[in-house]
Structure 1
Amino acid sequence: MTHVLQVSAELFPLLKTGGLADVAGALPAALAAAGAEPRLLVPGFPAIRESLTQECAVAPVALPWSEGRAALLRGRLPGFDAVVYVLDAPGLFDRPGNPYGDAAGVAYADNHRRFTLLGLAAARLAEGVDGSWKPDIVHAHDWHSGLACAHIAASRARRRTQARTVFTVHNLAYQGLFPADHFCDLGLPSAYYAVEGVEFYGQVSFMKAGLHFADAITTVSPTYAREIQTPEQGCGLDGLLRHRAAALHGILNGVDYTVWSPARDRSIAQPYDVDRPGGKADCKAALQRECGLDVKADAPLFGIVSRLTEQKGLPLVLEALGDLITAGGQLVILGSGDARLEAAFADAAAKHPGQIARRTGMDEGLAHRIYAGSDVVLVPSRFEPCGLTQLYALSYGALPLVHRVGGLADTVVDTTLEDLAASTATGFVFNAFTADAYHRALRRAFALWSRPEYWTRVREAGMRQRFGWDAAATRYVEIYEDVLQR
């Protein structure tokens, strides 16, 4: 049985800023079902440290700099069958704010130290500091864990481990870039600061460390795996990704339907499913009341659950807001981010209080209620590695309106005449990232809304889609076995 160490900076339900946490929380159980033996390594952020039970010390972790202390703990976290390793370093992780920045959203100046230590801890486990268990594979997620691949490569060169590494790119745009003079804090051989290493245009790139040193690379949808090999979406790393194309695999993220199912969701007003959909109307009315919208069953309700960034295509939504309002639609927005976008949505909500509602921050329960109460969920992203939002929307019978890119292209079928006739349409898809293309998709949504029998057919097709973790976990296990054989 392959021993797999999953390394992630976030872990649902204890610590979440985005989809990375959902993946890290759901994948271990799926891997176990597929025949692997997974364990987790996570930083000792307060929410994780406070939840750890059956705790025992494994080993100290030596720091590449002089001050501070760190140690590996082993224990259990609620809701997880897998053993968990927690990197206990209070001076680095016991802080307010989110995992990456303070309460004002400013990135911590020592993030390079915080996340190189996560990579070092993974390497120590690969070297066998826990005498009862040693990973065959270290599976590192996103830039925060990228240096695990570099540290393990260095350990292999010193013949301290035979472990292999898999690196998953969740979003190439976030690369973990730091000044070159921070390299001395990373604990890596000096030769690793090179073009054939972690150097990236005169900086240190944790993302590039993962891409260069990993034995296999995965990303979270087949389309995104192709897109990041192009200059348009390669974020300056497309040449390296083309060079490593044989090691790059696109594996679509899954959904944990024990969490994201309207039939068993305790956060929503009324349970429902594809065969008993009546509760969705109750959820819509409850959401309208909760958000201060006019309680109107005949008004199509559009939902947004997203970071408010330009990447998410939200300027397109703002540009077409007049059309949505004039056509009688409603909109509820949950998210925070870019100050200009926050202000624009706040202004729109103030001008149209019965039709637009805005809520800020991260509210997991409200996110569930928005999926359950919305008729359409807007995901017009400029780029989208996989997207879980549209998958959650399909499960809850909210038709996704998406840009044909990344995982959105892989999971949503447009309401063309052919797909309507074949009962395979599940949402609304526009091709060009332009205001006109988005407007047309929005008009198609209103046109379909005016034909309830067609709307019902598309909603049912969407709710019957299944994007579980079984297929993804099986593919990951195949990749693990392949790199071990090589």
Structure 2
Amino acid sequence: MKVLQVSAELFPLLKTGGLADVAGALPRALLAAGQDVRVLLPGFPAIRDGVADALHVAEMQTPWGERVGLRLGRIRAESGPDLQAYWIDAPRLYDRPGNPYEDAQRQPYADNHRRFALLGFAAARIAHGLDPAWHPQVVHAHDWHAALAPAYLAFSPRRGHPRVGSVFTVHNLAYQGLFPPWHFAELDLPDVAWGIDGLEYHGQLSFMKGGLVFADRITTVSPTYAREIQTSEQGCGLDGLLRRRAGVLGGILNGVDDQVWNPATDALLPHRFAPGQLDGKARCKAALQAELGLVQNAGAPLFIVVSRLTEQKGLHLVLGGLDALLAQGGQLALLGSGDAWLEQSFRARAAAAPGAVSVTLGYSEALAHRLFGAGDVTLVPSLFEPCGLTQMYGLRYGSLPLVHRVGGLADTVVDATLEDMADGQATGFCFDAFDAEGFARALRRAFALHRRPADWEAVRAAAMARPADWGQAAARYLETYAQALA
């Protein structure tokens, strides 16, 4: 099947979050399954520089009258076939330093509606013959940045080409791509695309709604999240629409890219290890403690955080529970950035207890790998979590996840209860009430299990053995593509 994947970022070229990991891994899994897959990306500097041998394919006029180009090259693979990649050659829109979505003051760019409308528009143009050498059968758009692709497909003339199916994946419903309504006039969509059954959302222009209304099939990144977003609590105001479209909505759990996240082969780890051969993990822990200035203590449970620092991610619970964590002999190593008050609070705690708390603001892919390699417990106490890759990396690297039981966290982590431990199913620690007490009780269970080495190692072995390959997810997506074409 010929599939065009559309996203704003893709690992390893450009990454601000889990979307990039999925956008990078799924096409390769589809290639491995024998499918004809290409990706479409904005021409951000990191993408432009990372796509090799890019050749000019075509020019097109944007809905607001600019002339831009389309290039096609390849993203080299360490193993397997290279990934064919289109990128939109529009320097005035994309050639900006730093964050692809925000300026130096961390404010969204004023023309983001154009920058990402063009991504969906270009996808529809490719589907309808912009590249005469290749025509996709299905366009798969990821998150709000690409959400107008199904709308443009629905209303663009086919010019004699066969119908192309559309699939839209919601990675996080909370980020919807909302803009003032007057920008709709710049999109060159018909008036019927506006309104309650179109892109209008409480008087604003919603890119997310475009994908939800016009896609043939809708997926989310976990089955539980697919159910949650149909409720008023998690639906972000779109639950009514999602309930109406429940017949074409489903959840497909993300996988883990084994070429990137595998402790047995991970070149970013100082020492490699595998299930049943964990000497390397102990050495990773000792090396990280030395690197971060933590007390060298193999017996101290090392809790790690790799996350955006926001209340949605439950980081205020971690901050509030830090005294109890330290009092029980634990250590904390954090990597992330986000809300200023959380950054300042964690930095103050690190300054007050430098041998027990380490805080690194920003993001480093290499340090993230070293944290998972060294950690005993991965903290992911999110208020909501569509899928979450952090806990899945923790599972793979034997850093047992401690999670709030929602979304993909509920689908991937089995609480270390006595019965699930007896059945060999337990893989981490879960709590249900999103409050300090719920988090504290899960924290106490983690410490209690750590004091029972044989049980700890049994749970760790179950966690590391949990299957999370992209092959199974790719097969589910292929079924969804066939449904979109039907």
State the TM-score, normalized to the length of structure 2. 0.98
Aligned to 1:118: 119
- Pairwise mapping of residues 274-313 of structure 1 onto structure 2 (< 5 A)? 274-313=275-314
Question: Counterpart of 2:35?
Answer: 36
The 3-state SS of whatever aligns with 1:165 is: strand
Deviation at 1:362, TM superposition (A): 1.4
Report the Cα distance in structure 2 between the residues aligned to 1:160 and 1:477, rounded to whole angstroms. Answer: 22
Deviation at 1:82, TM superposition (A): 2.5
Q: Distance in 2 between matches of 1:159 and 1:170?
A: 33
Q: 1:322 offset after TM fit, Å?
A: 0.7
Which structure 2 segments of 5+ residues have no match? Answer: none
Structure 2 CA distance for aligned equivalents of residues 201 and 271 of structure 1: 52
How far apart are 1:330 and its partner, in Å? 0.4
Please state whether the residue corresponding to 1:436 is helix, strand or coil: helix
Query: Does the residue aligned with 1:311 lie in a helix, a strand or coil?
Result: coil
- Asked if structure 2 preserves the Cα contact closer than 8 Å seen for 1:97 and 1:105, the reply is no
Whole-angstrom CA distance in 2 between matches of 1:201 and 1:161: 35
One-letter amino acid of the counterpart of residue 103, structure 1: A
Letter of the 2:31 counterpart: A
Helix, strand or coil: the match of 2:67? coil
2:209 aligned partner, one-letter code: K
The alpha-carbon distance between structure 1 residues 156 and 169, as it changes in their structure 2 partners (threshold 3 A), is: farther
Superposed displacement of residue 257, structure 1: 1.0
1:71 equivalent in alignment to 2:72: no
Alignment partner of 1:211: what SS? helix
Q: Identity rate of aligned residues, in percent?
A: 61
Query: Retained in 2: the 8 A contact 1:8–1:141?
Result: yes
Distance 1:159 1:240, change over 3 A: farther
Residue in structure 2 matched with residue 50 of structure 1 by the alignment: 49
Q: Tell me which amino acid in the other structure corresponds to 2:297.
A: K
Worse overlay, 74-83 or 172-181: 74-83
Pairs within 5 Å for 1:202-241 = 202-241=203-242
CA distance in 1 between counterparts of 2:135 and 2:165 reads 12
Please name the residue that 1:11 is paired with. Answer: 10
1:350-397 deviations in whole A, cap 9, x for unaligned?
Answer: 111110000011100000000001100000000000000000001100
How many residues are treated as equivalent by the alignment? 483
In structure 1, the residue matched to 2:408 is 407
Residue type of the alignment partner of 1:89: A
User: Where does residue 145 of structure 1 map in the other structure?
Assistant: 146
Cα distance between partner residues in 2 of 1:407 and 1:261:
20
Q: One-letter code of the match for 1:254?
A: G
Give the aligned residue type for 1:29: R
State the Cα deviation string for residues 36-75 of structure 1 (Å, max 9, x = none).
2111100111011112222221111212224x43111111
In 1, Cα distance between equivalents of 2:175 and 2:44: 21
What is the rounded CA distance, in whole Å, between the counterparts of 2:100 and 2:27 in structure 1? 21
Q: Give 1:156 deviation, angstroms.
A: 5.2
More off after superposition, 212-221 vs 50-59: 50-59
Preserved contact between residue 302 and residue 377 of structure 1 (Cα < 8 Å) = yes
Report the counterpart of residue 320 of structure 2 in structure 1: 319
Distance in 1 (CA, whole Å) between partners of 2:242 and 2:416 is: 34
Amino acid at match of 1:316: L
Please report how far the alpha carbon of residue 157 of structure 1 lies from its aligned counterpart in structure 2 after TM superposition. Answer: 7.8
Q: Which runs of 5+ in 1 are unaligned?
A: none
Q: Distance in 2 between matches of 1:159 and 1:219?
A: 32
Letter matched to residue 244 of structure 2? H
Question: What are the within-5 Å matches in structure 2 for residues 150-229 of structure 1?
Answer: 150-155=151-156, 162-229=163-230
Task: Indicate if the aligned counterparts of 1:156 and 1:163 stay in contact, CA closer than 8 A.
Answer: no
Q: Is the 8 A contact 2:128 2:158 kept in 1?
A: no
Secondary structure of the structure 1 residue equivalent to 2:83: coil
TM value normalised by structure 1: 0.98
- Work out the CA distance in 1 between the residues paired with 2:70 and 2:455: 56
Distance 1:51 1:397 in 2: 32
Deviations 1:442-462 (A, max 9, x none): 000010111111111111110
Contact 2:128 2:159 in 1 (8 A): no
- Once residues 368 and 168 of structure 1 are traced to their aligned partners in structure 2, the CA distance between those partners, rounded to angstroms, is 27
Cα distance in 2 between the residues matched to 1:69 and 1:357 = 49
Q: Which amino acid aligns with 1:87?
A: I
Q: What is aligned with 2:447?
A: 446
1:87–1:6 Cα change, 3 Å: same
**Secondary structure, aligned partner of 1:310:** coil
Is the CA contact (8 Å cut-off) linking 2:217 and 2:483 kept in structure 1? Answer: no
CA contact (8 A) 1:394 1:400 kept: yes
Deviation of 1:183 after TM superposition, in Å, equals 0.9
Question: For residues 158 and 176 of structure 1, what CA distance do their matches in structure 2 show?
Answer: 30
Structure 1 CA distance for aligned equivalents of residues 339 and 147 of structure 2: 26
Distance 1:153 1:59 in 2: 22
**CA displacement 1:305-355 (0-9 Å, x = unmatched):** 000111101111111111001111100110000111111101111111110
- Cross-structure match for 2:245: 244
1:462 aligns with 2:463: yes
The secondary structure found in structure 2 opposite 1:72 is: strand
Please report how far the alpha carbon of residue 160 of structure 1 lies from its aligned counterpart in structure 2 after TM superposition: 6.0
Q: Is 1:384–1:407's contact at 8 Å kept on the other side of the alignment? A: yes
**Cα gap change, 1:311 to 1:195, in 2 (>3 Å):** same
| Cα shift readout 1:108-127 (whole Å, capped 9, x = no counterpart) | 11000000011110011011
1:158 positional shift: 7.7
Aligned-partner Cα distance in 1 for 2:17–2:235: 21
Structure 2 counterpart of 1:7, one-letter code = V
Q: 2:212 & 2:199 partners in 1: Cα distance?
A: 9
**More off after superposition, 392-401 vs 75-84:** 75-84
Query: Does residue 417 of the first structure (1) align with residue 414 of the second (2)?
Result: no
